[in-house]
Amino acid sequence: MERIRMTTPIVEMDGDEMTRVVWKWIKEELIIPYVDLKTEYYDLGLKNRDFTEDEVTKEAAYATKRLGVAVKCATITPNAQRVKEYDLKQMWKSPNGTIRAILDGTVFRAPITVKGIEPYVKTWKKPITIARHAYGDIYSAVENVCPAGSRAELVVTAKDGTETRTTIKDFDGSGIIMGMHNTDASIASFARCCFNYALDTRQPLWFAAKDTISKKYDHRFKDIFREIYDKEYADKFREAGIPDYFYTLIDDAVARVIRSEGGFIWALKNYDGDVMSDMLATAFGDLAMMTSVLVSPDGKYEFEAAHGTVTAHYYRYLKGEIPSTNSVATIFAWTGALRKRGELDGIPELAEFAGKLEQATINTIESGIMTKSLSVLSSLENIKVVNGRELIISIRDRLEELI
Ligand code: NAP
Ligand code: MG
């Protein structure tokens, strides 16, 4: 059989621990036999990040800007214990944070749904994708404790030195305050990422905030989304047959989400997105069934699994055991990248192959073959629990049937 040819390479970011092992299995068994795989390889494994003083992470992000499509393996974000374990020169920053800062993107997370793993919410028939604004708000806020009898004020000093003061609170007893910010530029780029992704995946877009209470802060988000939509996207949505962009108050949104059938993108401010994405991941089933894609405002894509390097499994692997690691989200990171590359380069066979690999993966699980953590959640009868390696071999068998 002739392997599918590629023209432009995909940026391949290798990673750490168990996911690095799974990464190799996926490439060897599920991709290279069928695709004449072209990648620009960057080793983001912790040892190499330390060796290159983290330059490799930046190079990989710039390569993504240049080539447009990347796939990333999970990586360790070092803490004090990791600095010791790997004898690191310093506590390097989170690679995802570095990549996000360079690409200036929005992260979209969506569950992979299969028969047998039913969402806890009975009405949900299709996945719900969360778009989380990954800049500002409480994540870069300053806070203070205020003693009894103190006055707390917001002071804005303009370029010419003029001050605008707003009293936050005259404290009788002691209390606390917080100052947070966002920028029009970041909100605008968040909005454009969301509108582009909605067009790209042909899904409706919802955005929800608390503009009735936060009349300047949250209202700003609402206004910027509306202005950009009306000016740049309303016609495109109509042409694509996607319902008009929908804003609603966040309280109303949570009620609608629970009663919905799914199948839309839910854009949220930083904190709301943080909380709601964990809620949705659990409600749909399992972290190892969650995909994640970073989309930049100028349309560059970086695909990955939402979970980490599965450290406990790796330590067992080092002792000679083949752990029951679920590779589904990592497989979908690869198929996401292959499909996007196929679409951009006009290679329909590549996008078709990505679809078949996803179908083979879903067929495998729906036939009852799955890893341990998924088997606990599944309502199927006759489940065969397999280890991480066996799962990939079973998926390859199903893929052979489809090709
Ligand atoms: P994790 O690797 O996602 O694992 C947490 C637990 O979830 C695992 O111990 C395992 O439970 C279960 N799990 C997650 N993915 C699984 C899979 N594919 N198959 C089966 N079980 C799975 O998160 P963590 O333990 O908090 O973090 C480990 C390392 O990953 C850290 O160094 C962290 O910095 C890094 N991390 C990286 C990323 C990223 O690169 N995007 C994201 C998060 C964390 P059981 O042990 O009970 O089986
Ligand atoms: Mg969270």
Instruction: Return d(Cα 157, Cα 137) in angstroms, integer.
Output: 20
A 10 A CB-CB count for 131 gives 26
**Which atom from ligand 1 is nearest to the alpha carbon of 306?**
41
Q: Is 292 exposed, middle or buried (0-12, 13-18, 19+ CB in 10 A)?
A: buried
Are the C-beta atoms of residues 398 and 364 closer than 8 Å to each other? yes
Query: For residue 100, is pLDDT > 90?
Result: no
Q: 298 lies in a domain? A: no
Residues 245 and 344 in one domain: no
Q: 192 lies in a domain? A: yes
Question: What confidence tens digit (pLDDT) does each residue in 249-282 have?
Answer: 999 999 999 999 999 999 999 999 988 988 998 8
Query: For residue 1, is pLDDT > 80?
Result: no
Residues 372 and 387 in one domain: yes
Q: Is 260 in the pocket of ligand 1 (CB under 6 A)?
A: no
Atom 20 (ligand 1): residue with closest C-alpha? 325
The CA-CA-CA angle for residues 13, 388, 289, to 5°, reads 65
Distance 240 CA to ligand 1 centre (A): 38
Instruction: Return d(Cα 340, Cα 350) in angstroms, integer.
Output: 9
Residues 185 and 170 in one domain: no
Residues 60 and 107 in one domain: yes
* Residue where a domain terminates, one of 257, 284, 311: 284
Residues 148 and 240 in one domain: no
Q: Is 94 in the pocket of ligand 1 (CB under 6 A)?
A: no
Are the C-beta atoms of residues 193 and 129 closer than 8 Å to each other? no
Number of structural domains, the chain?
Answer: 3
Are the C-beta atoms of residues 249 and 212 closer than 8 Å to each other? yes
Distance 308 CA to ligand 1 centre (A): 4
**Which atom from ligand 1 is nearest to the alpha carbon of 292?**
41
Pick from 107, 290, 304, 310 the residue to mutate for probing ligand 1's pocket: most ligand atoms within 8 Å of its CB: 310
- How much is the pTM? 0.90
Q: Which pLDDT band holds residue 104 (cuts at 50, 70, 90)?
A: confident
CA 138 to chain centre: 20
Q: Is 189 in the pocket of ligand 1 (CB under 6 A)?
A: no
Residues 189 and 314 in one domain: no
**Which atom from ligand 1 is nearest to the alpha carbon of 327?**
18
Residues 240 and 132 in one domain: yes
Report the pLDDT value the prediction gives residue 105, as an integer from 0 to 100.
80
Question: What confidence tens digit (pLDDT) does each residue in 111-140 have?
Answer: 999 999 989 999 999 999 999 998 889 988
Q: Is 282 in the pocket of ligand 1 (CB under 6 A)?
A: no
Distance 28 CA to ligand 2 centre (A): 33
Report the pLDDT value the prediction gives residue 274, as an integer from 0 to 100.
86
Residues 97 and 20 in one domain: yes
Instruction: Return d(Cα 325, Cα 330) in angstroms, integer.
Output: 11
Q: 228 lies in a domain? A: yes
Read off the tokens for 183: 């920028």
What secondary structure does DSSP assign to 240-251, as a single string? HTPPPPEEEEHH
Atom 43 (ligand 1): residue with closest C-alpha? 308
Q: Is 307 in the pocket of ligand 1 (CB under 6 A)?
A: yes
Q: Is 387 in the pocket of ligand 1 (CB under 6 A)?
A: no
Query: For residue 335, is pLDDT > 80?
Result: yes
Nearest bound ligand to CA 315? 1
Residues 238 and 357 in one domain: no
* Residue where a domain terminates, one of 255, 284, 313: 284
Q: Is 378 in the pocket of ligand 1 (CB under 6 A)?
A: no
Distance 287 CA to ligand 1 centre (A): 9
* Residue where a domain terminates, one of 179, 198, 229: 179
Considering only 94-103, 121-130, 192-201, 229-238, which range has the smallest mean pLDDT?
A: 94-103
Q: Which pLDDT band holds residue 305 (cuts at 50, 70, 90)?
A: very high
Pick from 82, 88, 307, 385 the residue to mutate for probing ligand 1's pocket: most ligand atoms within 8 Å of its CB: 307
- Averaged pLDDT of the chain: 96
Host domain of residue 92: 1-111+303-403
Report the pLDDT value the prediction gives residue 282, as an integer from 0 to 100.
86
Average pLDDT estimate for 336-358:
98
Question: What confidence tens digit (pLDDT) does each residue in 135-185 have?
Answer: 889 988 899 999 999 999 999 999 999 999 999 999 999 999 999 999 999
Residues 210 and 265 in one domain: yes
Nearest bound ligand to CA 273? 2
**Which atom from ligand 1 is nearest to the alpha carbon of 329?**
18
Report the pLDDT value the prediction gives residue 270, as an integer from 0 to 100.
92
Q: Which pLDDT band holds residue 286 (cuts at 50, 70, 90)?
A: confident
Q: 295 lies in a domain? A: no
Instruction: Return d(Cα 302, Cα 300) in angstroms, integer.
Output: 7
Report the pLDDT value the prediction gives residue 90, as an integer from 0 to 100.
95
Written as one letter, the residue type at 294 is L
Residues 132 and 236 in one domain: yes
Q: Which pLDDT band holds residue 41 (cuts at 50, 70, 90)?
A: very high
